[in-house]
Amino acid sequence: MFSYHLRLALKSLRRNPVIAALMISAIALGVGMCITTLTVFRLMSGNPIEHRNDVLYAVTLDSWDPAEPKDDDHPELPPPELTWRDAMAMLESDIPSRQVVMHKTGFVVEPKDREDAKPFLVEARVTTSDFFPMFDVPFLYGGAWGDSADENPQFAVVLSKETNEKAFGGEDSVGRTIELDGREFKVVGVLDDWLPTPKFYDVNNGAFDKPEELFVPLSLTAELELPSHGNTNCWKDEPLDSFKEFLNSECVWVQSWVELPTPEKVEAFRAFIDNYVREQKKLGRFQRPLNNHLRQPDEWLSVNEVVRDDNRVLVGLAFMFLAVCLLNTIGLLLAKFLGAAPLVGLRRALGASRKAIFHQHLVEVGVIGLIGGLLGIVIAALGLLGVRQLYDNYDALTRMDLTMGLIAIGIAVLSGVLAGLYPTWRVCAISPAAHLKTQ
């Protein structure tokens, strides 16, 4: 029976090839547009560290200007980063099972083996060693530097896979040295491919930038006077003539994360930071109301508004576009089905049950929905290719994964059913007698 209905459906579609093409392409365009915008939106609003969401917390303290909030649009938020001295104070606590304090800087790398290679500048992250296990960073060779490097300055470095390729041709470079800003650093580890999207651990310095090209121990910041290459915001009227003054200033430029595996630890650490700020208040700092936060990655990403409003607007518009496409298809299907009403009347009079008629039209609608939906996924793939041209450094935002593929098929099927249901129902409601009379 199904193959018979399928044959009928194809015959019917071939009878009006232009209309059939119109209906299929309307569904395809609508579905394609929705999936394209939705893919970008979903990846932007994704949380690459979801599996550790319940134990990781970003630390923020409100050390800002008593006269005005950091962000006029969000007066309730403390600055997203800490001062150096406050970040150092956080490290004093042994409540967190792991703790990251970090900032951005830059180095000039001098490739040694090759004479012709020119020195190049790299973006670097200065961090405590917990960065790697805490954020689940994959290693290709070696591993993080030891805890001792966090306390005593050591010239150790972890390279990204890309930097290792540039400097050592991709070989296992653990144990070799690399010259950074004229100093020899020992390579202790090389990362594997790692592209967290968005870059959750530092969303205020380009939420969709790539991770840094190399990583060095935080103990080097004061030792080598490593400058901040990230957002650095200062509010206080104070001289900043030396690096020491900068480290002791009220400027915020350091990121802090903690790992707190149990609710008790969360409460304990919350008490620790509140106490710390109360102590500081006595010293004349932290003149704003107590406003400290521990935020899990999910909340951290949403508070920092990582997803641009533009993307929400685009998704909304895309679904309105899909609505127009579906209305269009419904109209055409209805006209087509009702145009063939005398035929249906005839079939009904000859003994076809209402169920058979329903089945037959459903198959026809299904064919349209299926072809349209599949074509929509193709269009979405092309659309994403186009979006990639527009986004350039946003490669990771335009990949369609399995989940997105399933969502795509879901949207396509649902669209087909939605478009086909009403016309099918209408054609089944035809009373055979009315159409058997001559007009």
Partner 1 sequence: MAIRPILSAMLRNKTGAILVGLQIAITLAVVANAVFIIMQRVDKINRPSGIDSENLFFVQSYGYGPNYNHRDTVRHDLDLIRALPGVVAASVTNQIPLSGGGQATGYRTSAGSDTDVTGNVYNVDEHGVAAYGITLSAGRPFTEQEIQYDENVGSKFVPSIIITEALARDLFGESSPLGKNVYDNLGQSAVVVGVIGHMLGAWVDWDELDHVTLHPRIPDGPAVRYVVRAEPGRRDALMLEVEKRLSAADFSRAISWVRSHEYYTERSYRNDSRMVALLSVMIVLMVAVTALGIVGLASFHVNQRRKQIGTRRAVGARRVDIIRYFMLENWLLTTAGVLIGTILAFAFGQWLSSAYALPRLEPIYVVSGIILLWILGQLAVFVPARRAAAIPPAIATRTV
* Binding flag, residue 327, partner 1 (CB under 8 A): yes
Shortest distance, CB of residue 433 to partner 1, whole angstroms?
A: 16
The residue among 247, 37, 52 whose CA lies nearest residue 131 is 52
* C-alpha span between 84 and 244 (Å, rounded): 11
- Rounded to the nearest whole angstrom, what is the least distance from the CB of residue 341 to partner 1 in the complex? 10
Contact 419, 360 (CB under 8 A): no
| 26 binds partner 1 per the rule CB under 8 A | yes
244-303: contacts with partner 1 (CB under 8 A): none
Among 239, 263, 284, 289, binds partner 1 (CB under 8 A): 239
Which of 67, 350, 402, 429 binds partner 1 (CB under 8 A)? It is 67
17 binds partner 1 (CB under 8 A): no
The answer to whether residue 190 forms part of the interface with partner 1 (CB under 8 A) is no
3-state secondary structure of 66: coil
Secondary structure E strands in 61-172? 98-110, 120-127, 139-142, 156-159
Residue 264 CB, nearest approach to partner 1 (Å): 39
Read off the tokens for 270. 């919350």
Using CB under 8 A as the binding rule, whether residue 121 contacts partner 1 is answered as yes
- Of 8, 19, 409, 418, the residue at the interface with partner 1 (CB under 8 A) is 19
**Based on CB atoms, which residue is closest to partner 1, 148 or 393?**
393
In whole angstroms, the minimum distance from the beta carbon of 73 to partner 1 comes to 9
Are 32 and 318 a contacting pair, CB within 8 Å? no
Residue 416 near residue 372, CB atoms below 8 Å: yes
Pick from 244, 295, 292: nearest CA to 271: 292
DSSP β-bridge partners for residue 255: 102
* Binding flag, residue 308, partner 1 (CB under 8 A): yes
Q: Is 119 in the site for partner 1 (CB under 8 A)?
A: yes
Asked if 66 is part of the footprint of partner 1 (rule: CB under 8 A), the reply reads no
Q: Please report, as ranges, the residues that interact with partner 1 according to CB under 8 A.
A: 18-19, 22, 26, 29-30, 33, 37, 67, 106-108, 118-121, 181-182, 237-242, 308-310, 312-314, 317-318, 320-321, 323-325, 327-328, 330-332, 334-336, 339, 387, 390-392, 422, 426, 438-439
